[in-house]
Amino acid sequence: MNHRRNFLRAGAALLTAATVSKAAQGAVPEAPMQDKPDTMPPLAPPETGNGGPPYNPVVTLNGWTLPWRMNNGWKEFHLVAEPVRRQLAPGMTARLWGYNGQSPGPTLECVEGDKVRIFVTNKLPEHTTVHWHGLLLPCGMDGVGGLTQPQIPVGKTFVYEFEMKKSGMFMYHPHADEMVQMAMGMHGFIVVHPKNPALHRVDRDFVFIINAFDIEPGAATPRVNTMLDFNLWCWNSRVFPAISPLVVRKGDRVRIRFGNLTMTNHPIHMHGYDFAVTLTDGGWVPKTAQWPEVSIDVGVGQMRAFEFVADEPGDWAIHCHKSHHTMNAMGHKVPTMIGVDHRGVAEKIIKLIPDYMVMGDKGMADMGEMEMPLPDNTLPMMTGTGPFGALEMGGMFSVVKVREGIARNDYKDPGWFKHPPGSVAREWTGEAPVAQSASASAPAASELQVRKPVRHAH
Ligand SMILES: [Cu+2]
């Protein structure tokens, strides 16, 4: 965490704990800024009581929660819409539009019943608005430019006031020059916690926005007119290998929430577990209606959350199941060369173009390991290295790291999973498997490590 953030957090805590002075009451609150693309630790609600009711905070993947101040019973936030620079992964920084220094904007966390006042300052080069996707509010607070309010002109600050009527998850984004402003990265997550913190309680609660950009390799500004052919598939404006791992303590009940603000659907698949779909942007799914999945498709403009008990340690992949969405910037016009023997031709070409490479005749796996010459400011199509070699991934891919014995509030990357001896797929050599040769007699049930199905109901 950087110093500015520490300072702001301390500042926010002071503001929420103290009464806002008469003079400050009429002033727009400070707008905290974030200059790092890292996952910030959960912003714990103040325990003093006058900072608002208590709740269990969420963790925003490669993001942060916006501090607020209490002012005469109103929870006040300040969003600044502005051009930002966002590192999508080391080696590539994009020129985007976002809020308070980053794209996506900070997560807004509230509690059911909170009266919120959200100041929005427009530092973009054009007008904007903010629409509060899914929230139940007075029509004039809905943020549709031209329909429910005048556009927020450049340089002006507007204020939105409403009550958080129900708990759940929601999003915010512009409803002004929407195609351009969404393509430039303007999104954010809203979490409204239940009034009773024991309700829907989990130990770890992760949130992210699914977004996508079309940025020509070597460029930094997204093409804003692209309809479908995006080349950077992101979670919170971040791509593999730079999406933070989801660090989980063994035995924790875990919730993962995501909202889709791209132009296509994303089947989000998690390995190693089955899970229950417990929440959409429409509300909590009643227990009797929750259904089991191992992949959950999230349509355009929709949100989904699932829950599971982390009973099996390991490094479990979590990714979009569209295989083109686990790739980074790539040319889709590359011809398929599988089975084509072009060695003779290549020798001739190399005489003319010394850097020419023969690629793709056995598949494209070489590309995961090859150090390809790339223009500045782009990312390899397939990349990342794990404990067993090249991962050959990109885009919407991360790892749920379930570990024994980590602290309750610890989200630090614990490194790679240490597999128990004999539990990793291996080359068959004709020898008896390690697990069986260890015991001459039939192994006890405990040694077989049979996993019982987990019931998802609380
Ligand atoms: Cu996808």
Mean per-residue pLDDT pooled into runs of 10, the chain (458 residues): 40 44 81 94 72 88 95 95 96 96 97 97 98 98 98 98 98 96 97 95 97 92 92 95 96 98 96 97 96 97 98 97 87 61 70 64 63 74 86 92 94 96 92 54 46 50
Burial readout 149-186 (b: 16 or more C-beta within 10 A, e: otherwise):
bebbeeeeebebebbbebbbbbbbbbbbbbeebbbbbb
How many angstroms does the Cα of residue 322 sit away from the middle of ligand 1? 5
How many angstroms does the Cα of residue 320 sit away from the middle of ligand 1? 5
205, 277, 295: which is closest to 247 by C-alpha?
A: 205
pLDDT of residue 308: 98
Report in angstroms the alpha-carbon separations of 109 from 57, 164, 254, 258, 301.
Answer: 8, 11, 18, 15, 20
pTM over 0.95: no
pLDDT of residue 298: 97
Cβ neighbours of 263 (radius 10 Å):
16
How many angstroms does the Cα of residue 108 sit away from the middle of ligand 1? 25
pLDDT of residue 127: 98
Q: Residue 85 burial (CB < 10 Å; 0-12/13-18/19+)?
A: middle
The letter for the amino acid at 382 is M
How many angstroms does the Cα of residue 161 sit away from the middle of ligand 1? 35
How many angstroms does the Cα of residue 267 sit away from the middle of ligand 1? 6
pLDDT of residue 175: 97
* Beta strand ranges found along 164-313 (DSSP E): 168-173, 188-193, 204-213, 232-235, 246-249, 253-260, 266-270, 275-280, 283-284, 292-293, 295-298, 303-309
The letter for the amino acid at 120 is V
Report in angstroms the alpha-carbon separations of 245 from 58, 73, 145, 239, 402.
Answer: 15, 37, 38, 12, 10
pLDDT of residue 218: 86
How many angstroms does the Cα of residue 238 sit away from the middle of ligand 1? 14
pLDDT of residue 337: 64
CA angle at 118 for the pair 262 and 139, rounded to the nearest 5°? 75
Q: Residue 65 burial (CB < 10 Å; 0-12/13-18/19+)?
A: buried
Query: CA 257 to CA 251: how far, in whole Å?
Result: 19
How many angstroms does the Cα of residue 318 sit away from the middle of ligand 1? 12
How many angstroms does the Cα of residue 87 sit away from the middle of ligand 1? 20
345, 382, 346, 353: which is closest to 366 by C-alpha?
A: 382
pLDDT of residue 347: 73
